[in-house]
Amino acid sequence: MIEIAIDYEGKLRCSATHGPSGKVLSTDAPVDNNGLGEAFSPTDLVATALGTCMATVMGIVAERKEISLKGMKVSVGKHMSEDAPRRISRLDIDIHMPVAGDHPGRQLLESAALGCPVHHSIHPEIEVVMNWYWA
C-alpha cells in the first residue's frame, strides 16, 4: 500500500505528499469551477495518470523486448460533462510512437497501453478515445 498525505491549504488548493519519496504536488480547482487554475485539478490528475500509466507500461514491455521508445509522446485531452454531476466524460489519448507502424511489437505495445492499471480503473461511462501515430 502507498500512502499519500493531502493537506487542504484553503482557496480550493491542496498539496499531496507521496509517502515513499516525499515528493509534493499541488492541485487547484479549475477556473470554470471557482478556482484559479494555477495547478493541476484533481480531474487533470486522472487524465495525467492514464497517460503516464500507458506510457510506463509500454516502457516496461519495450525494455523487455529491447524496443526503444525514446521520443514517445503522449497527450491527453480531458472533457468534462456539461450536465450534473460534474465528471470526466471523455479522455482523448494521442500516442506518438517513435517506431514504424509495421513494427513487429506494435500489437504488444498497444495491448500494454490498454492493459495499464489506470485504464482498467477508469469508469466504463468515461469514453476513452485512442489515437495512435506511428513513425
CB atoms within 10 A of CB 50: 25
CATH code of the domain made up of 41-134 = 3.30.300.20
Q: Tens digit of pLDDT for each residue in 23-67?
A: 999 999 999 999 999 999 999 999 999 999 999 999 999 999 999
CB 21 within 8 A of CB 34: no
> Do 28 and 12 touch, CB atoms closer than 8 A?
yes
pLDDT at 74: 99
Q: What is the average pLDDT score of the chain?
A: 98
Q: Where are the domains positioned within the chain?
A: 1-40, 41-134
Q: The pTM is what? A: 0.95
